Structure 1
Amino acid sequence: MTDVLVRSPARSWALALMLGSASFLVLFDSLAVATALPAIGDEFGLRPGVLQWVISLYSLSIGAFLVLGGRVCDVWGRRRVMLAGLAVCTGAGLLAGLAPNLPVLLAGRALQGMAAAFALPAALSAAGGEFDTEPWRSRVFSVIAFAAWSAGLAGAMLGGVLTTRLGWRWVFLVTVPVGVIALLGARILLPRDRPGTASGRRLNATSAVLVSSGLVVLLLGLQENSPLLGLGGLALLALMVVVERRSAHPMVNPGLLASRRRAGSYLAFGTYCAGYTALVVIGSLALQERYGLTADAAGLALSPVLVGGAISSTLAPLLMRRFSARTIVVTAMALCALALTLIALSDSVPQLLPWLLLWGLASGPIFVGLTRECISDAPEDDRGTASALFESMSHIGGAIAVAAFMTMLGAGIAFRPVELTGAVVVAAGALLTLLVVPGRRS
């Protein structure tokens, strides 16, 4: 029996919006906090190098615990994990907003990141599991994508307003009522986890420790540009692979990566995220250093990306009904590569704006198409892990791209060649999708 037969349209929309709230909480927080950093530094008397950990610790926590979070969803049940993740994330936001000193603030940020690493794969796996027929299968991922892009826009726009009018603490505190509403919605709308989740499989404690510690060390090495830490992280992950091959209960079912559809989609999303890093991180630096904009003005100049992403996310389900996911993703990634190329070749801020909007308009279908390919068709008992691997492409792929692009800038390479390199990576992702992901009409 499908979701259409057992759930009214109103309840379906309510469930989809609740699942989108997890993405909203994570991305609003990550972008809004950046605008509050100067005020936090002034109150606690922090140097910029120390202050950066308010953001970095959050990102590290998400990236390090995503795979574990996805596996826990499969073993313990996505409803339980979703409720726990939202509760901890909401409480951690309150802790950060009321923090009397830096250690408490950092503790709140670490908890927020860890909770998000569990809540995000739970939301994506629930979307794939609860909506198994069209049009809702594409529609729910469209809602989640819209929530993510809207959160980015709201964070970029409202972060400075909240900090200026109410104080930096409200950047954290404003997420608390949203978290409470999402928590209540999840409790009411998500069906109870079925008995015997994951067919009696257990969580491999050794693999869990190795994957999380390995990702922490690897991401820290990328962030700090430390080859020694990076190699240490890779060594821990390699050891995890050895343990996994001998385990009766591996963290990642090898069958997930044996599928051309999923493996190709993961790689495609990783290349897209690398290009997005060139667009946003390198692009923001270029706007400030090349065109003389302030940090706030640079953020405002990049807002067409977020506007375009929010618009195209709502239109993606219409495309998914007419064309295969591969056709949509290949076309959209080619447009992103073109947009980034034209951005790199532009000579003024007004020239950039239409190409920034083009990137955003092409991005919504990429997210909707790839999430559907990676998650909807994953085995029920591995859907949380499949969701976590997809999200990892954003955090880990983005960290690798930042390290690579910043190294290029540090070596004296100009902004334009770095941005063009990002465009080449996205174009390669489009070609990879065409060659690897099987075609299929939706």
Structure 2
Amino acid sequence: MTTDQRQATGDVKAWPVAVLLASASLLVLFDSLAVATALPTIGAEFSLRPGLLQWVVSLYSVSIGAFLILGGRACDLWGRKRMMVASLALCTVAGLIAGIAPNLPVLLAGRALQGVAAAFAIPAALATGASIFREEPWRSRVFSVIAFASWAAGLAGAMMGGLITVHFGWRWVFLVTVPVGVVACLAALVLLPADVVPDGERERLDLWGAVLASTGLVVLIVGLEELGRGTHTGPALLVVCLAVIVLVAFVQVERKVRHPLVKPRLVRSRRMIGSCLAFGAYCVGYTAVIVVLSLRLQEVHGLSAAGAGLALTPLLLGGIPSALLAPMALRRFSARVVVTMSLVSCALALTMIATTPGTTALLPWLVLWGVASGPVYVALTRECISDAEEEDRGAASALFESMSHIGGAIAIAVFMTLLGAGVSYRSTELVGVVVVAAGAVVALTVLPRRREADRR
């Protein structure tokens, strides 16, 4: 069924499809934030020391970052619907494994599988949205719904994770996602259009490139996380150097293979480069807010970890309505203008967060950051993924989302290194301001002006 046919039905199927695609983000982000609140209880049951306990969170992030590019390419080669159904099914099974885990190894296996499932589900959802909804207002609206689900899941995870743990036990933090995954999997089978078999020679997956990319990214993220902790700086630097060597080898292999994981035309696209750089800059600022400010609230203002998380919820509350309203702004102004103004607002908000001494006075600036965040994600997702060729949209989605997972790991390592060297919280947060402001400059100068298609 074409987009025009779908929209001619009065959006009867459009909304269910958009909500289905948003469910992938909901499953990913609810777990990632809710599990953090359950860590003390998990550690107490399995008698874990903090270093091991942290891997319940870290292994999930490592798996997503390492397999995103492979997941995106698999979506392009093997079909978005097929990958969407398979990844949602794997996510559901992984949540069940984590929820009934009798020991730490089984729990970590479930978390790793959840991360792999998310790495395939996220690009499948974004690429499917760009392929099904080709015209406005749905071209922007579908990414708005996905962004809304992300912010809502983050808020629900931050606020409900502790409640679920206290009243039902930590296992239900994982088990509560199982019925959602089952429903989403069945809905994907019914609602998503069948995968189209391409004419002519079918491209093959670059297995050597996939192995090198995933290995290099796993090693890189682990090394960066160890650098961020600051406990084994020397070995961590060696791990990062090893990752760089593997990734350089990956680039060399990609230059010679007939069907690379990332096609050269993707990295030559002005919209792709501008969108990824601007989003990466935003993610650095977001890390400064979530990580550095959270530490400041705990170590300077004496809040508990749960209290610091609660203090940051205005940011999530601001992001929910802005994600829904972003398509209205994109129908009036170009993505270039919307992203530039939003990143300028984020830079202002982070500046005030860094220079505000109290806790209550942070409220309006956290809300401002959230309000400015929705248009950034919706506009850049639309620009990056919708502009790619149909057969490249999975890979484009993966590259875009990598800015969050890999860029966030790099930002954490840098920020924690600065703090470990004695740099103040304020100065560290102001580093984030500089990066976000640079992202605004990139959006203004690299993103093209509005195309004729944007005016419709």
Per the TM superposition, whether the score is higher than 0.5 is yes
Q: 1:171 aligns with which of 170, 173, 191?
A: 173
- The equivalent residue for 1:370 is 380
Contact 2:6 2:14 in 1 (8 A): no
- The equivalent residue for 1:233 is 243
- The equivalent residue for 2:134 is 132
- Deviation track 1:233-269 (CA, whole Å, cap 9, x = no partner) reads 1111100111111110111011011011111110100
CA distance in 1, matches of 2:201, 2:391: 8
Amino acid at match of 1:92: A
CA distance in 2, matches of 1:130, 1:235: 39
Amino acid at match of 1:378: A
Shift of the 28–197 alpha-carbon distance from structure 1 to 2, 3 Å rule, reads farther
Q: 1:218 aligns with which of 193, 216, 220?
A: 220
SS in 2 for 1:292: coil
1:260 counterpart = 2:270: yes
1:70-109 superposed matches below 5 A: 70-109=72-111
CA distance in 1, matches of 2:418, 2:276: 25
1:421 counterpart = 2:431: yes
- The equivalent residue for 1:248 is 258
CA distance in 2, matches of 1:199, 1:416: 56
Contact 1:199 1:381 in 2 (8 A): no
- The equivalent residue for 2:146 is 144
- Deviation track 1:132-158 (CA, whole Å, cap 9, x = no partner) reads 000000000000000000000000000
SS in 1 for 2:101: coil
- Deviation track 1:396-424 (CA, whole Å, cap 9, x = no partner) reads 00000000000000000010000011011
CA distance in 2, matches of 1:261, 1:204: 25
- The equivalent residue for 2:209 is 207
Q: Alpha carbon RMSD of aligned pairs, Å? A: 1.0
- Deviation track 1:123-181 (CA, whole Å, cap 9, x = no partner) reads 00001001000000000000000000000000000000000000000000000011111
Structure 2: where are the runs of 5+ without partners?
Answer: 228-235
1:430 counterpart = 2:440: yes
Q: 1:181 aligns with which of 163, 180, 183?
A: 183
- The equivalent residue for 2:396 is 386
Contact 1:329 1:365 in 2 (8 A): yes
Shift of the 323–298 alpha-carbon distance from structure 1 to 2, 3 Å rule, reads same
Task: Give the Å deviation of 1:217.
Answer: 0.5
1:245-324 superposed matches below 5 A: 245-324=255-334
CA distance in 2, matches of 1:261, 1:6: 27
Q: 1:159 aligns with which of 158, 161, 164?
A: 161
- The equivalent residue for 1:4 is 4
SS in 2 for 1:418: helix
Task: Give the Å deviation of 1:6.
Answer: 3.2
CA distance in 1, matches of 2:163, 2:351: 33
Q: 2:44 aligns with which of 42, 45, 48?
A: 42
Amino acid at match of 1:399: A
Contact 2:323 2:378 in 1 (8 A): yes
Task: Give the Å deviation of 1:211.
Answer: 0.2
**Which range moves more in the overlay, 431-440 or 33-42?**
431-440
What TM-score, normalized to structure 2?
0.96
1:119 counterpart = 2:129: no
Task: Give the Å deviation of 1:2.
Answer: 4.9
Task: Give the Å deviation of 1:199.
Answer: 5.6
CA distance in 2, matches of 1:321, 1:243: 42
1:329 counterpart = 2:331: no
Contact 1:214 1:233 in 2 (8 A): yes
Task: Give the Å deviation of 1:380.
Answer: 0.5
**Which range moves more in the overlay, 4-13 or 272-281?**
4-13
- The equivalent residue for 2:17 is 15
SS in 1 for 2:13: helix
Amino acid at match of 1:77: G
Contact 1:75 1:197 in 2 (8 A): no
- Deviation track 1:194-229 (CA, whole Å, cap 9, x = no partner) reads 013896111011000000000001111101111111
CA distance in 2, matches of 1:334, 1:197: 46
Shift of the 2–19 alpha-carbon distance from structure 1 to 2, 3 Å rule, reads same
- Deviation track 1:359-398 (CA, whole Å, cap 9, x = no partner) reads 0000000000000000011100100000000010000000
Amino acid at match of 1:343: I
Amino acid at match of 2:127: S
- Deviation track 1:260-280 (CA, whole Å, cap 9, x = no partner) reads 111111010001001000000
Amino acid at match of 2:430: L
- Deviation track 1:273-312 (CA, whole Å, cap 9, x = no partner) reads 0100000011100111111111111111100110111110
CA distance in 1, matches of 2:80, 2:4: 21
SS in 1 for 2:195: coil
Give % identity: 63
CA distance in 2, matches of 1:248, 1:213: 21
Contact 1:211 1:240 in 2 (8 A): yes
1:59 counterpart = 2:75: no
Query: Paired residues, what number?
Result: 442
Amino acid at match of 1:439: R
Shift of the 409–12 alpha-carbon distance from structure 1 to 2, 3 Å rule, reads same
> Which 4+ stretches in 1 moved above 3 angstroms?
none
CA distance in 2, matches of 1:105, 1:2: 43
CA distance in 1, matches of 2:124, 2:346: 29
CA distance in 1, matches of 2:268, 2:448: 13
SS in 1 for 2:102: coil
What TM-score, normalized to structure 1?
0.99
Task: Give the Å deviation of 1:116.
Answer: 0.5
CA distance in 1, matches of 2:132, 2:30: 25
